[in-house]
Structure 1
Amino acid sequence: MAELVYRPVIGLAKTLFKAWDLKIDCQGSENIPRSGGAVLVSNHISYLDFIFNGLAALPQKRLVRFMAKEAVFRHKVSGPLMRGMKHIPVDRKQGDAAYAHALDSLRSGEVIGVFPEATISQSFTLKSFKSGAARLAQEAGVPLVPMAVWGTQRLWTKGQPRNFKRSHTPITIRVGEPVEAPRDQYAGAISRRLRERVQEMLEAAQRAYPTRPKGAEDTWWLPAHLGGTAPTVEQLKAAEAR
């Protein structure tokens, strides 16, 4: 089936990456299956994470259908693009429809992208995983492919201004070996094992990242445990309580 929207959007994204002079370091794309269904699972630190997750699948000639909140599909600009690329809207009050849609796509051999943290992590640390990705993989009989991105928060994240100028920002992407999701195992246990793998890759991506903050005012994009000034999980919870 012709991809009348997805492929032009990929071309536009690549043009923007070149204009911004991003330094993209992507390793492990060969772990994404060349055929058949799979669930890509990534950490979530930026509004642009899905673009870089999708970029990692291109060497395998795969297009990823991402599950995203339904509000994005109602936007006058992003909505037609998201629908044209066959991404999957998720209404959190009626999640069954999105789950069934994703399951059908997996069974037809599509690659589905999921952010099991559900929302952007403002601490830039890994939050707990919801079990939906594991349950999808179990029911469809497909593997889970863990991924980690780092540096994307410096382009556009929650609570910070967008940085769409020529910034030479490094973006690090790591794709891990598939994690099986046997039907006879508890989905929560599979999710915990998957989270451990994503955490390992996130730490590897952070170690490989070539840039350090330029000064005290540039530490916002680093989590506190790495010496940055991003809010901690405890600080975020306290702010929500207030």
Structure 2
Amino acid sequence: MAELVYPPVIGFARSMFQVQGLRFDMEGTEHVPRRGGAVLVSNHISYLDFVFCGLAARPAKRLVRFMAKEAVFRHKVAGPLMRAMKHIPVDRAQGEHAYERALGALRSGEVVGVFPEATISRSFTLKTFKSGAARLAQEAGVPLLPMALWGTQRMWTKGRRRQLGRHRFPVTIRVGAPLESGPHEHAESLTERLRARVQELLEAAQSAYPGRPAGPHDRWWLPAHLGGTAPTPQEAAELDAARR
């Protein structure tokens, strides 16, 4: 079936990136398989991360079907677009439906995007990974594709105003080689290996990132262990718990 909505949305996003003056540094896009199913897995630091993960898949001419919370699909503008692009709604009270739909997409040769931290990391460090991505890859017999983003938090993240004007923010994207499941490997073990690989890619993206804070007031987007003023992982967990 022809993709009538996804390609124009991608074109619009690229135009917006040009207007904003975003500077991209992408490496590893050759690892995105040109055909067949795969589970794309990334860290999660911004409301716009799915856009940038999808951008990294474009050199391989792949469209990524992202798993996203069901509330997004109820939005009067985003909802119709998400459905038309065949993204997968996740109702956390009935997660098995989303799992089965994602499994079907993988078996039909689609790339499914998953953020295994489930929610945005306020500390900009990796949270605990849920095992759903590993289980999907194992059951569908497809590889995991690890990815890391850096700089996207400067545009729109939890607890901060959107910065979607012409700010010329750098965005660094690193894609790793596909990760296959070992024979008889438990999903928990595969998840640990996956998280370790995403951590390596994240550190590489951070090391390569050309952006620097404009001053003491602009250190909020750096994690505490890199000298920033973002919440520590413990503080971030407490903030998430209070919000719940």
Question: Does the TM-score normalized on the shorter chain lie above 0.5?
Answer: yes
**Contact conserved, 1:139 with 1:183, CA < 8 A, in 2?**
no
Aligned equivalents of 2:221, 2:75: Cα separation in 1: 28
Aligned equivalents of 1:241, 1:122: Cα separation in 2: 12
Shift of 1:239: 4.0
Counterpart of 1:69? 69
Counterpart of 2:237? 237
Counterpart of 2:111? 111
Aligned equivalents of 1:221, 1:207: Cα separation in 2: 15
AA of the residue aligned to 1:6: Y
Aligned equivalents of 1:53, 1:235: Cα separation in 2: 27
Counterpart of 1:90? 90
Shift of 1:240: 5.1
Aligned equivalents of 1:237, 1:152: Cα separation in 2: 21
Unaligned regions of 5+ residues in structure 2, if any? none
AA of the residue aligned to 2:3: E
Shift of 1:234: 1.5
Q: 2:211 is paired with a residue of what secondary structure?
A: coil
Distance 1:239 1:175, change over 3 A: closer
Distance 1:72 1:240, change over 3 A: closer
Unaligned regions of 5+ residues in structure 1, if any? none
% identical equivalent positions:
69
Aligned equivalents of 1:239, 1:2: Cα separation in 2: 44
Distance 1:240 1:96, change over 3 A: closer
**Contact conserved, 2:146 with 2:178, CA < 8 A, in 1?**
yes
AA of the residue aligned to 1:34: R
Counterpart of 1:19? 19
**Contact conserved, 1:65 with 1:113, CA < 8 A, in 2?**
yes
Aligned equivalents of 1:231, 1:162: Cα separation in 2: 19
Counterpart of 1:129? 129
Judge which range, 183-192 or 130-139, deviates more.
183-192
AA of the residue aligned to 1:137: A
Counterpart of 2:50? 50
**Count of residue pairs the alignment pairs up:** 242
Aligned equivalents of 1:13, 1:149: Cα separation in 2: 17
Runs of 4+ in 1 over 3 A off after TM superposition: 237-242
Aligned equivalents of 2:127, 2:4: Cα separation in 1: 36
Q: 1:161 is paired with a residue of what secondary structure?
A: coil
Counterpart of 1:208? 208
Superposition TM-score, scaled by structure 1 size: 0.98
CA RMSD of aligned residues (A): 1.0
